Structure 1
Amino acid sequence: MPKKEKVRFGSAGIPLQCKGSSLDAIECSRELGLRAMELEFVRGVKLKEENARLLKPAAKEADVSLSSHAPYWVNCCSADLEKRETSKRNIFAAAQASSWAGARVAVFHPGYYQKKTPKECFILAKETLEATLDSMEKHKVEGVKLGAETVGKKSQYGSLDECIELQQKIDGVMLVFDFAHLHARGDWPFKTEKDYSSLFSKVEKELPGYLKDFHAHFSCINYSDKGELNHLPLEGKNQPPYKPLMKVLAENGYGGTIISESPKLEYDAVKMRKEYLKHL
């Protein structure tokens, strides 16, 4: 990646224009000017070890940074012990496959309140995640962090403050921005450069150094008073706006990765990168 570029862009899963496997998609992403790709395990971790291990050298050669998204079947703060055990297994499986593939972060949705207070959710989530990290250490799952993604529904545990707290208090967990979710949930509505700048100021204060290598998702989003409904492409009057974000990232020299979760995947990842480059 050119030295002046500090933010990598990529797609959530295999780009629409790319044919074949995740291995093929690495080179295809590079040819599109993208330097990241997220392996999608949202319906289950089905990537075999032998195939996962082929991704690491290919990604290194192509200078494409890999990450992954753990299965949706995760609720780290469920009152039901069996559901927490299932959550551990699903996050562990994603982390293990990520480690084989050389992916640096396995992203997950923290959970649901289900009548519990935020503090009660934190206690259960901390227990679940620390147990998962212990299993990772025991089985030598290395080089991958667990990424607590900011969530899009008000019924979910995983606000910006809650995900920051998870990183602050659990070694091995990191915050993952989902700008569309922050916007839809009402945690942090985005309209202007100032809105994005104030978010980054808060995060830099609470997580010093994080903005040198952050991980994030971006798309536009449709939402109701309860939060997220569905992701939308980066076009027309769809919200949140991406252009102010690209300007803020470039002008402040922040570094990290942005994964496009737009229905247009890599097309919108390329669109974001082009806008970002305008401001360097």
Structure 2
Amino acid sequence: MSLEQAKTLSEFCKTVIYFLSALGMEICLHKGRNRKGRGPEKLLVLGLLTMGTGTFLSAYGVKLGLPESWGKILGDLVLVNAGTAVTILAVYLLTLKFHLVALALKKEAVTDPLTGLYNRRTFFRELDCRLERGGSLAVAVLDLDNMKQINDTLGHQIGDEVLRAAARALKKTTREKDIAARYGGDEFVVLFASEGPRVEKFKARLKENLMAELPYTGEIEVGISTGVAYCPEDGEDARSLLSAADARMYAEKEAKKNHYYAFGLLAENSKPLEVGITRKRPFTLVEGRRELF
């Protein structure tokens, strides 16, 4: 095989590769369910077709009746170079697109789709990491009041708006380093970056932000009950901390139902221990803290 024949064969193989690649891309685009937003893929097909056409004209322009110089200029200089530029641009756009998709998938994996807060799994992962590092920290468990009444009376669409409003209020109330997450249903949790703010100050700011964000719910009053637990005072593992915070949150919720606040009131008046039931488990209120037994 002469050098000229080898060169012609090489040009022929490149032409076939370009056209087959473009054909494969076009088949994938045609079979794709979502054909919108496929600009980079279509641009890549155009670039491959242009390069294939230029290579073909450069190798076989003379046989097609074109002057050899015209075949080289039109093929190599114009079409191949233009196709290469388009292909490089398409690859760049595809890389950028894949990067954005990866970021979106990562965000979906760590956030709650309804509220935009972190999800339960992310909260526990961060809590476990901080417990392993040691030191003081605080967690809060929060529960929206009267959500069942809102869903039953006004519908779940309004209920979802209330949940989103609570999430926005929680974002405003917490700091950037805090982890605010949807725990499930109408419950939220917060992992504070340090020992956490003063409880009463935190509750007041949260209530103010919640009132500013809530949609119209008629005569149904929407509030939020909060319980905070501290490490290591209330426990050194996730289960103990959340149990303590959950108990204090339910103590506050039940106190609201009885139109008075139990926290501090029993200690000031030196009243006997109050015994009740939370989630079908007995508890005793001692100086504003709920002890399960």
Name the TM-score class by shorter chain.
Answer: under 0.3
Higher helix share: 2
Structure showing greater relative contact order (alpha-carbon pairs closer than 8 Å, 6 or more residues apart): 1
TM-score normalized by the length of structure 1: 0.24
